[in-house]
């Protein structure tokens, strides 16, 4: 009988030395790994590659400097009325100021002239921009808090509660917002003013301004529904992931899961939606001030400045064009910035 032994044949190009275990340095030289990049770092890296978004961000920073820093060093105050300086054109001096210049005194020019009460128009434009941006950013954060909380609870609970909460959102969506805003602005001012005068703890309302508080209340009552819808749709998808089930199995409560896991993973969407809400809030505030039910005098806003310029539009057109141009630039740059943030932090939406 032939012996059925198996003979191992070694390939001529393979030697016994090839089977020696690799050293630690040899193993590390073969490992090719990309450096770990977090969510924020990856988003900012994509953001920096978009030149239009960077330009929009720079413009917003310059407008913020114009509104918040320049008035600190500007020689005139927004409420200061200078007798004899009424209705000056840009870079024009009054007779009293010309006499001061002839006497050797230094007089800072009125860059954009003055209004009919002798107030420097440039500083009023700065303060008006500040007020409009403050209302826009503050109202957007209020919308974020209310909408994100409502949408997260609705999407996480689901079932009948979700259906009822969403029907409430549908009802609020069908309400004619402009009419409700006008009604609320008219009805809320007297009681808020009375509270500020009678309750010492609410005296801060006079400092902030009753019209501004009314604007915040209006936005808090009406404009959070879109945010709630977006957050709910995200939560309905995220709550089915395995890490939510694991967290629930480890004993985590609903509040912890919503705040720690679900809303954290919606952060990109929340940032983008909040950024896009700011120009909407600024436009609404400017529209209300243009109608005369927004920010009250002597505090200016871009909308109220445009309203006061209507009477003298043919003689002093710059009083209308300056606030209108600022409103357009702010809304345009914020929309472009929001689009860039959406592409950077939520690239799936772009696809």
- pLDDT (mean) for 68-91: 86
Residue 62: per-residue pLDDT: 93
> pLDDT (tens digit, 9 = 90+) per residue, 298-343?
778 888 888 888 888 888 888 888 888 988 898 889 888 877 877 7
pLDDT in tens, 44-57: 777 788 888 899 89
As a whole-number percent, the residues of the chain with pLDDT over 70 amount to 84
pLDDT in tens, 109-159: 888 888 888 888 889 999 888 888 888 888 888 888 888 888 888 888 888
- Tell me the pLDDT band of 27, cut-offs 50, 70 and 90: low
Q: pLDDT digits over 271-292, tens only? A: 878 887 888 888 777 777 777 7
Q: If pLDDT is split at 50, 70 and 90, which confidence band does 348 have?
A: low
3-state SS record for the chain: CCCCCCCCCCCCCCCHHHHCCCCHHHHHHHCCCCCCCCHHHHHHHHHHCCHHHHHHHHHHHHHHHHHHCHHHHCCCCCCCCCCCCCCCCCCCCCHHHHHHHHCCCCCCCCCCCECCCCCEHHHHHHHHHHHHHHHHHHHHHHHHHHHHHHHHHHHHHCHHHHHHHHHHHHHHHHCCHHHHHHHHHHHHHHHHHHHHHHCHHHCHHHHHCHHHHHHHHHHHHHCCHHHHHHHHHHHHHHCCCHHHHHHHHCCCCHHHHHHHHHHHHCHHHHHHHHHHHHHHHHHHHHHHHHHCCCCCCCCCCHHHHHHHCCCCCCCCCHHHHHHHHHHHHHHHHHHHHHHHHHHHHCHHHHC
Domains and CATH numbers, the chain: 44-80+121-350 (1.10.3720.10), 82-118 (no CATH)
**pLDDT level of residue 31 (50, 70, 90 thresholds):** low
């Amino acid at each position: 009988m032939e012996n059925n032994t198996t003979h191992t044949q070694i390939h001529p190009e393979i030697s016994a030395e090839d089977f020696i275990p690799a050293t630690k340095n040899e193993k590390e030289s073969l490992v090719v790994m990309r450096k770990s990049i977090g969510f924020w770092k990856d988003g900012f890296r994509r953001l920096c590659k978009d030149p239009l978004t960077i330009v929009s961000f720079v413009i917003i920073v310059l407008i913020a400097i114009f509104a918040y820093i320049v008035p600190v060093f500007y020689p005139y105050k927004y409420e200061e009325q200078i007798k004899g300086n009424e209705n000056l054109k840009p870079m024009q001096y009054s007779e009293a100021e010309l006499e001061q210049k002839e006497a050797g005194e230094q007089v800072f020019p009125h860059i954009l002239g003055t209004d009919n009460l002798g107030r420097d128009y440039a500083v009023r434009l700065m303060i008006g921009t500040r007020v409009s941006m403050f209302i826009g950013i503050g109202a957007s954060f209020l919308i974020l808090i209310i909408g994100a909380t409502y949408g997260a609870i609705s999407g996480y609970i689901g079932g009948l509660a979700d259906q009822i909460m969403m029907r409430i959102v549908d009802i609020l969506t069908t309400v004619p917002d402009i009419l409700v805003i006008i009604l609320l602005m008219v009805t809320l001012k007297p009681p808020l003013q009375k509270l500020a005068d009678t309750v010492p703890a609410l005296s801060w309302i006079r400092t902030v301004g009753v019209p501004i508080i009314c604007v915040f209340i209006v936005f808090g009552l009406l404009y959070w529904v879109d945010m709630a819808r977006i957050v709910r749709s995200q939560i309905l998808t995220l709550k089915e992931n395995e890490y939510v089930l694991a967290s629930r199995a480890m004993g985590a409560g609903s509040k912890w899961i919503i705040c720690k896991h679900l809303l954290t993973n919606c952060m990109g969407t929340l940032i983008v939606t909040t950024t896009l809400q700011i120009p909407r809030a600024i436009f609404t505030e400017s529209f209300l001030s243009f109608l005369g039910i927004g920010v009250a005098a002597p505090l200016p806003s871009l909308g109220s400045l445009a309203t006061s310029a209507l009477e003298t539009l043919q003689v002093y057109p710059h009083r209308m064009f300056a606030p209108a141009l600022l409103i357009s630039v702010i809304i345009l740059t914020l929309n472009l910035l929001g689009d860039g943030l959406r592409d950077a932090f939520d690239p799936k939406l772009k696809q």
